[in-house]
Amino acid sequence: MDPHPQLLPREPRPLIAHIVLFQFKADASPDQVVALRDGLLALPASIPDIHRLNFGPNLAAGADEWPWVLVVELGDMGALARYADHPAHRRVLDHLLNPIRQDRLAVDLEIPDGG
């Protein structure tokens, strides 16, 4: 019997993958999409709850309906709520995303922490 069970290795805790698919307005310029990408990719430096963040074109066959994808990995649903309300995230939404966003589809999924 181990007298210190808290020292035993623990299974990694799952993460929450916040996956958002986007459609941009027909008049969205490539420069606006690049500015959005840069703003999104800068978020982990301001929001410590973000474990990983990726943004780019949807590479799936038939991706025309949802051509852009954001994947944000966070520690739990509380971290997702803090990310959503964080001022840096709100600035990206208000100044870079909302002016070009036509539509969005979001899902949140529990995934294993790959380390």
- Domains within the chain, CATH numbers bracketed: 23-111 (3.30.70.100)
4-44 pLDDT, tens digit each:
656 555 666 889 999 999 999 999 999 999 999 999 999 99
Question: What pLDDT was estimated at residue 38?
Answer: 98
d(CA 79, CA 75): 6
HSE-up (13 A, CA, CB side) for residue 54: 8
Number of helices (H) and strands (E), helices first, in the chain? 3, 4
Phi-psi region of 88 (alpha: psi -120 to 50; beta: other; left: phi over 0): alpha
Query: pTM of the prediction?
Result: 0.86
> What confidence tens digit (pLDDT) does each residue in 46-91 have?
999 999 999 999 999 989 999 999 999 999 999 999 999 999 999 9
- Judge whether residue 113 has pLDDT over 90: no
